[in-house]
Amino acid sequence: MEPALFLELVDLFKAKYSITMICECMGVPRSTYYRWCHKEIGMTELEKEILAICEQLKFRIGHRTVRGLLKNNGTKLNRKTVQRIMQKYNLQCRVKPKRAKKMAGESNLIVPNLLEQNFKSDAPNQKWVTDITYLPFGESMLYLSTILDLYNNEIIAYKVSDTQNAQLVLDTLEMACQKRHTAGTILHSDQGAQYTSRAFQLTTKENGIITSMSRKGNCFDNAVIESFHSSLKSEEFYTLERVRLTNAIVQQKTEDYMYYYNYIRPFQKLNCHSPIEYRTMAA
């Protein structure tokens, strides 16, 4: 490709696309483009030196490093001058992708699987299971954290939030602990960051709760709570999949279903009683 034609093409599209993208699409190395710019428009000696440094190091360094190299070569410049020249010719270094931030309190505290898929319980508060599920039915993604008692499948506590973090599960746990006697209760979860967080593990210990975790990537180890979340979505939301809901409506429908599930919905394993009815009769 003729240099003059390519430079004209870049001038035409650089307001909409980056010079790097245009060069990649046309198969022209970025360094070649700047050499052509040098020949066509004329660079100062300083600009040539900065371009040469960037080309030599394959555009992997920032303006501070370039300034340091210039200083080593006897050229003392203000950092902002170097930065302005590099910006002028799009010589900025490649930005390293940021590592995902760890969730507050996360410390990867994995505990053994105490349930081992034994979901039978002889009395209330012996075995609880918990999990978080997505509620993608409103204006934005919402998250539901739930704690269920395996004795009668009763939902002890739940919370809907627009943030999937450790605080969500801590709030749910606090609600459950306020309602029930928790000394010696086994609380089973997956290995999500919320449950392996130090804050969660410490709170359970303070309430006398023994934590248990599924094997990594094995949803069957927490099948009961997985099944409940599936039932909530299929029975309450999937019949309305073409209806646009607000987040407030999603919240209200979740609350309505929780009441229905605990107080009205019959279970064959509970002799066709609802969870609350079954627990009340047993008491």
Find the range with the poorest average confidence among 6-15, 38-47, 61-70.
38-47
Q: Hey, what long-range contacts does 76-82 have (CB within 8 A, 24 or more apart)? A: 77/46, 82/50
Residue 33 confidence (pLDDT) above 90: no
Residue 142 confidence (pLDDT) above 80: yes
DSSP state of 90: T
Residue 105 confidence (pLDDT) above 50: no
More confident residue, 29 or 70: 70
More confident residue, 75 or 92: 75
Residue 120 confidence (pLDDT) above 80: yes
Residue 100 banded pLDDT, cuts 50, 70, 90 = very low
> What average pLDDT does the segment 93-105 reach?
52
Residue 8 confidence (pLDDT) above 50: yes
Residue 191 confidence (pLDDT) above 60: yes
So what's the pLDDT on residue 198? 92
The chain-wide mean pLDDT, for the chain, equals 86
> What average pLDDT does the segment 260-283 reach?
91
**What contacts 246, CB < 8 A, 6 or more positions away?**
138, 139
Contact present, 231 and 131 (Cβ < 8 Å): no
Comparing CA positions, the residue from 242, 130, 140, 232 lying closest to residue 187 is 130
Residue 101 confidence (pLDDT) above 80: no
Rounded to 5°, the CA angle 254-260-262 comes to 100
> What average pLDDT does the segment 142-152 reach?
97
Which domains are delineated in the chain? 3-88 (no CATH), 127-282 (3.30.420.10)
So what's the pLDDT on residue 256? 94
Find the range with the poorest average confidence among 87-96, 172-181, 242-251.
87-96
> What average pLDDT does the segment 62-74 reach?
87
Burial bucket for residue 20 (CB in 10 Å: 0-12, 13-18, 19+): middle
> What average pLDDT does the segment 5-32 reach?
78
Percent of the chain residues past pLDDT 90, beyond the cut: 51
pLDDT tens column, 224-258: 999 999 999 988 887 665 567 899 999 999 999 99
Burial bucket for residue 142 (CB in 10 Å: 0-12, 13-18, 19+): buried
Residue 104 banded pLDDT, cuts 50, 70, 90 = very low
